[in-house]
Amino acid sequence: MHSASLTQRLLNKHRHGAEDALQQVALAVLQQEGIRSDSVLRFERIGALAPPVAGVVLLAEWLAYVDWEGFDSALYANIAAVAALIAGELQLPDVAANLLQTRDAAVFEAQRPALATAALLFIEGHVALFP
């Protein structure tokens, strides 16, 4: 009998909380890879992951940064890479355009649920790459 992967179980458990599921999957990746928050090589180690996995971790960390430091500060934290992921892989060019051009926090908060849902669909499409 085939058992569900950790990522599949996390997605099922947090099905009604897309952003929670995204954060839990990113945390599982970091734990599996032994990437600690105090690591000097953290950014390089995340970048060395499979591109879909690295993108999900980057997005999850950026969203957490928005919560910790605020939207205005987050616009200066890896914003080009985050916007490229959002416009490209997640196919949400309007969200990316807001981050790069309009920079409107209220618009972003309105778009945030769709962003989290798109991220989960992206994870589901690449689930074999995740723990």
| Mean pLDDT of the 99-103 span | 95
pLDDT of residue 122: 97
Whether 21 contacts 95, CB under 8 Å: no
Q: Which of 11-15, 41-45, 125-129 has the highest mean pLDDT?
A: 125-129
Give the three-state DSSP class for 39.
coil
| Mean pLDDT of the 84-88 span | 97
Q: pLDDT band at 1, cuts 50/70/90?
A: very low
Q: pLDDT band at 38, cuts 50/70/90?
A: confident
Residues in Cβ contact with 17 at an 8 Å cutoff, skipping those fewer than 6 apart: none
H or E element, residue 70 = none
| Pick from 1, 130, 109: nearest CA to 53 | 130
Dihedral of CA 90/100/14/45: which sign? positive
pTM: 0.91
**What is the rounded average pLDDT for all residues in the chain?**
93
For the chain, the domains span 6-129
CA separation (Å) from 10 to 49, 59, 119? 20, 17, 14
Tokens of 66: 């928005």
Q: Does residue 49 or residue 10 have the better pLDDT?
A: 49
